[in-house]
Structure 1
Amino acid sequence: MKPRHRKTLFLVSVFLFTIVAPVLILSASGYRYDFQEGTLVRTGTLVLKTQPAGAKIVIDQQEQKETTPAKIGGLPPAHYRVRVEADQFRPWSKEIEVRGNKITLADQIVLIPKQIPVSSLFPEEVRTFAVSQDGRKLSYVRRDATKGDSLWLFDLDQNETHLLFPLGEKSDPTAGESADSPNRESSANSIDRLLWLMDGQGIAFSVATKETKQYFILPLEGGVREGEPYAFVPPGKGEVDQWKWTRSGLSFFFLQGGLLYRAAYDIRSTTQVVPDQIQSYAISGETIYFTTASSPALFKQDLPTGKRIEIALLPTESDDIDNKGNENLILSGRGKIALIDRHRQLWLIEDTAAGTYAPIAAHVQSAVFNEEGDRLLYQSYNADVNAGLFVYYLKEGKTHPVREAGSFEQVLQKKEPILGPVWYSDRTHILYAANDTVYMAETGGEGFPTADPILRLKGEAPKFVYHDSDDKLYFLFRNRLYQADLSFGRTSSFLGGRL
């Protein structure tokens, strides 16, 4: 080799060893030179996962070669505008902060279809409806201008309808000799409220007549009426409120005049469950939880034996807080109890004898635990700060940024009232309604949560029922019952028509 060539090779080797090799080593170690700052900085990694997978990734208007799921490393610490796109889906966009020597996760992205499948279930007008616990049957009330209301059952698997209770017809089995039968001379009689019982083995409903309001328990077998209904007039006075069901027997519980009753089909009777006047109650298996009205306290009572245990003495709020209504108990199934007291204060209580309790938030309208019981979604409303949705973390979160136990996340703040917030089936998104639109909002993750419209009912406030086992959303629109398929958040989905 000629001396000139040896010298060139030597200089190239020196360059590679002194310049290129350190750059490669630093890059592999997670460093990058910042020319603006004139210093080395630790880079971060961004992990993106979407449903569906295969979405295009755009970071600060630059399309990446990767598609989701993707792990993009070597990013200098900064705020990035991230956008993911897929055919037939609306794009998702958010500003995400990437930190040095950290992995930033955006791994719960759900892309919403441009067209969500919506179908009308019946041509007839529907006044009200209820979905069975397994999501496979619907009970609903048809309204006829001349005959009055009638109660029907729709089997979603068999696509069959069954008449259960023809209120406005002479063929109604409760008509005739029964003294409890509703007055049939007027088509103004109405079926007002429905409640599925005992995992779909019966239905409780109310009938309003000119003279009174009656209540019925109707047994079912395989989705078909089985036997005569049990009709009763509640023993107390005032409104019948807070209907709940139990798996132990074909019966349902209700509050009237501050007293708790149980109407049982098998013995055809209505009995008082606890002697105290109570504010609220909840049922889990064979145990009933309730709060007493005077000397406020939370108890739980075994239904078969009547044995009760005091869980917590509740604080008495000061008189300057407005009394805004009834209390509400929410059970997590994981040893935690949430209580919204009569002053709209939210408490978290341990489900143990002499359990501890702590205030969580004020001006709370509703609350619901996620399935795991480690997060509590609640809705607040205050004229000064508007309506808001928040998530309270009972345990430390697993995603970045890590949410500490006892911390809060604000999901939403709006001037308009928020209706029916519930957890979506993936347990990281929520569904809610505002004005005439149903939205899906994310929780957790980096930055302020996104919220996207999924369904609009022009001119009507959406009152929907969501069933998470099959991701079906049911709603009334112009007196017709519709079903929307929200399974796009699962591993597979079907795209169809729209309303």
Structure 2
Amino acid sequence: MSSKFHLFFLTLCIVIFVIFTPFILLYANGYKYDREEKTFIKTGSLFIDSFPTGASVIINGQAQEGRYWLDFFSFFWRLFGSATYGGNTPTIINDILPGKYQIEIVKQGFQVWRKEATILPNLTTRFKKIQLFFEEPELQIIDQGEVSFFWPSPSKKKIIYGIKTGSIKLLENNEINLLIDNFNFSDPKDPIYDSDEKRLIFSAKSIGEKSKEYFLLDLKNGHLLNLSELIPSLRREGVKIKFDKDPQYLLIGLKGLLVRTDFSSKLREAIFKVNGELKDWLINGNEIEIIRQEKNDLFFEKFSLTKPDQPIFSLKLKGGNYVFLSSPYFILLSNGESIIFVASNPSSSNEEPLIFELGGKKIVPFSKEELLYFNDYEIQILYAKQEALLSPWQREIITRLSEPLEGVEFYGDWLYYLSSNKIIALEVDLSSSKNQHLLFKAKEIKDFVAPISNIIYFIGQVNGKSGLFSLKIKP
């Protein structure tokens, strides 16, 4: 070859290097050419994980293929098992121009998950552990017969239910234990579990009688004790009964008197007395919060059990028939139509609390800083941090329905709600659009509970059969 050709070839290589090197460096540093803007823009990335894994990722209608041979780093993703580079979940997708994208997660046999994702320059948008639900959940009838009552425990680990033939049963760890074979009382209600969920108090009526009896049921051996026969004062009107912290004792509200009773020895001790009628109470150490009715007025008050002469605070309530709601994090009152949220007031000198009336009927255990509650057509969330409570608008509507809500359960990042004989899963995501999936529809669903992540129990009627059903909604 002539020296001129060598010079030409060397010059050509230099020109190519000078022209293309900036583009290569831009690409290597996460830049990509935007045809609309006609310039190079810093890209972002998208990380997606799902349960179960192995789901396809579709972005703006285009399926994302794995880039195992084109990208050197995909070897390391697969080597350490954290994610693939492109392809099925879990996956990371790089070099995405900033903007909004429609994401779909698709897996055969499962309902499609959809979300709008915002990609920002030099940042990774993450969707962790996206939950996929079965298209056709696995239904099983675990006890046949019309269910007359259905009482999940606070932890949801135990469910006491009754069949109209007169039997009372315990569902625990997906196993059914017959506790009572022939219970000859009607209208069982007012269930109260003890703190260990080993015993249950409930009321029922003798056949043909108007007055109710109280019973203590041992969930381990099925032993049933008629407390009203043991403690005749329980047959009085307006009596309220609860477990004491010491499992040997019961607390009984008799008009204006709170009595601590040893139900085995029948020994009784009056521990608190008020003017009027004691409607409900909460004891915390040496302090007691009560709801008290005097004539036509209802009061929410706090006392010291060691110095009960004067209340620490006393607030008059609007409306009537309030009782305390069971909640692990908050003090709540309800009359069946509205909920009162009680919060500490840092500016009060006598511990008088802040009171917020919420437009809800029932609560759903959620977190220490957020309260979930619902009424007939809305599910709402209240941000219960002290600084948020100073602004009464710190509430958000999770969803609003056109059909009545009959029950709500919370598990993980999802709400399950019952409406018009349909159980529906709703994603709890206040930052963007929420995924919603119809899990199951039946001729009749009276009540349900979600005790574990992948199983829902409900009572109702399916395919002409009444009973207690289990519904497996995900792996």
**TM class, shorter-length:** 0.7 to 0.9
Q: Secondary structure at the match of 2:398?
A: strand
The residue number in structure 2 matching 1:129 is 150
Is contact 1:440-1:451 (8 Å) kept?
Answer: yes
**CA displacement at 1:61 relative to structure 2:** 0.5
User: Which of 6, 9, 26 lines up with 2:10 in the alignment?
Assistant: 6
Gapped regions of structure 1 (runs ≥ 5):
145-149, 169-181, 183-188, 318-322, 382-386, 397-403, 494-499
**CA displacement at 1:83 relative to structure 2:** 0.8
Q: Secondary structure at the match of 1:13?
A: helix
Q: CA offsets, 1:12-57, max 9 Å, x none? A: 11112344323433x2xxx444332345544333332222222211
Distance 1:316-1:134 versus aligned 2 partners, 3 A rule: closer
User: In the alignment, does 2:114 pair up with 1:114?
Assistant: no
The residue number in structure 1 matching 2:180 is 164
Task: Please give the residue correspondences for 1:122-271 in structure 2 after superposition, counting only pairs within 5 Å.
Answer: 122-132=143-153, 138-144=159-165, 150-154=166-170, 156=172, 159=175, 161-164=177-180, 166-168=182-184, 189-192=186-189, 194-197=191-194, 199-209=196-206, 210-220=208-218, 222-225=220-223, 231=229, 232=232, 234=234, 236-237=236-237, 244-249=242-247, 265-268=263-266
Which whole-Å CA distance do the structure 2 matches of 1:315 and 1:309 have between them? Answer: 16
Is contact 1:466-1:473 (8 Å) kept?
Answer: yes
The residue number in structure 2 matching 1:414 is 401
Which whole-Å CA distance do the structure 2 matches of 1:351 and 1:151 have between them? Answer: 49
Q: What residue identity is the alignment partner of 1:203?
A: L
TM-score by length of 1: 0.71
Which whole-Å CA distance do the structure 2 matches of 1:421 and 1:448 have between them? Answer: 20
Is contact 1:132-1:199 (8 Å) kept?
Answer: no
Which whole-Å CA distance do the structure 2 matches of 1:124 and 1:342 have between them? Answer: 30
**CA displacement at 1:326 relative to structure 2:** 2.6
User: Which of 118, 131, 140 lines up with 1:97 in the alignment?
Assistant: 118
Which whole-Å CA distance do the structure 1 matches of 2:430 and 2:93 have between them? Answer: 17
Q: Secondary structure at the match of 1:249?
A: coil
Q: CA offsets, 1:52-86, max 9 Å, x none? A: 22221111101113322233343333222111012
Is contact 2:212-2:235 (8 Å) kept?
Answer: no
**CA displacement at 1:298 relative to structure 2:** 4.3
The residue number in structure 1 matching 2:383 is 393
**CA displacement at 1:418 relative to structure 2:** 1.4
Is contact 2:144-2:468 (8 Å) kept?
Answer: no
Q: Which protein is bigger by CA-based radius of gyration?
A: 2
The residue number in structure 2 matching 1:21 is 25
Aligned residues, how many? 433
TM-score by length of 2: 0.74
Distance 1:218-1:344 versus aligned 2 partners, 3 A rule: closer
Which whole-Å CA distance do the structure 2 matches of 1:486 and 1:262 have between them? Answer: 44
**CA displacement at 1:411 relative to structure 2:** 1.5
Once the two structures are aligned, what percentage of the paired residues are identical?
A: 17
Instruction: Work out which structure has the larger RCO, using CA pairs closer than 8 Å and 6 or more positions apart in sequence.
Output: 1
Q: Secondary structure at the match of 2:101?
A: strand
Q: Secondary structure at the match of 1:199?
A: coil
Distance 1:311-1:482 versus aligned 2 partners, 3 A rule: farther
Q: Secondary structure at the match of 1:449?
A: coil
Q: What residue identity is the alignment partner of 1:451?
A: Q
Gapped regions of structure 2 (runs ≥ 5):
66-86
Is contact 2:213-2:235 (8 Å) kept?
Answer: no
User: In the alignment, does 2:355 pair up with 1:350?
Assistant: no
Q: Secondary structure at the match of 1:68?
A: coil
User: Which of 474, 483, 488 lines up with 2:457 in the alignment?
Assistant: 474
The residue number in structure 2 matching 1:86 is 107
Is contact 1:281-1:291 (8 Å) kept?
Answer: yes
**CA displacement at 1:477 relative to structure 2:** 1.0
Which whole-Å CA distance do the structure 1 matches of 2:282 and 2:373 have between them? Answer: 17
Q: What residue identity is the alignment partner of 2:331?
A: I
